[in-house]
Amino acid sequence: MKFAVIVFPGSNCDDDMYYAIQEGLGEPVDKVWYTEESVADYDGILLPGGFSYGDYLRSGAIARFAPVMASVVEQAEKGKPVLGVCNGFQVLLEAGLLPGAMQRNRSLKFICRPARLVVANHETGFTSEYAGGERITIPVAHGEGNYYCDDETLRDLQANNQIVFTYEDNFNGSKEAIAGIVNKQGNVMGMMPHPERATDQILGSDDGLKIFQSILKQWRKSHVLTT
């Protein structure tokens, strides 16, 4: 399975994501610059964290219009797995690939620390290697990680089982403690915590590796069924 790590001006977690795939997962991966016009040759697409375009206007709002994003949206609509982490999640929200928006943390301060998460849905292509209700530790590093959606959207997320991760301690004020969601089709996931920073015990936790293992497992399963 070949992965693309999209690099925007201001991305600062692209090396972490690249390492997670190359060393943690053992699969081929390329960094793809934001000016590229196609990611059609890749099986999975990863949008890393950072401060794309300096987070001017709103986090992810300018990156959403980068040339590469038209192809990212196209591939997502074709069913390819797309994972956005932190700023990548914000970009997916701005691009309309996921519902909702991000606000400043409730404390109005940047938060950088390990976070305890609850696996709210283990039956997705991103979480199949976890057990339902499993508690995991994955670090966060964000100033605008307070997930918000209106009540109608929240009801849809709950009805369609799109809430994938929640915070055990809702430290940033996110609605219903939401830390990660998927789209209705289940092939696009956004999350504020950084699984790429939790792929080896030397980093303090390897709980994030199962996300990438789940993506690979789902791809292999679908690849076998279509060949």
- Write the CATH number for 59: 3.40.50.880
Torsion angle of alpha carbons 123, 133, 176, 58, nearest 10°? -60
Q: What residues make up the domain containing 135? A: 3-225
Q: Which residue of the set 23, 37, 86, 149 is catalytic? A: 86
Q: Mark whether 86 is an active-site residue.
A: yes
Show pLDDT as tens, one digit a residue, over the chain (227 residues). 999 999 999 999 999 999 999 999 999 999 999 999 999 999 999 999 999 999 988 899 999 999 999 999 999 999 999 999 999 999 999 999 999 999 999 999 999 999 999 999 999 999 999 999 999 999 999 999 999 999 999 999 999 999 999 999 999 999 999 999 999 999 999 999 999 999 999 999 999 999 999 999 999 988 776 54
Catalytic residue from among 142, 144, 196, 223? 196
How far apart CA 85 and CA 69 sit, in angstroms, is: 15
Number of domains in the chain: 1
Burial class (CB in 10 A: 0-12, 13-18, 19+), 103: middle
13 is catalytic: no
Residue 74 bears catalytic tag: no
Rounded to two decimals, what is the model's pTM? Answer: 0.96
Q: Which one of the listed residues 13, 144, 149, 194 is annotated catalytic?
A: 194
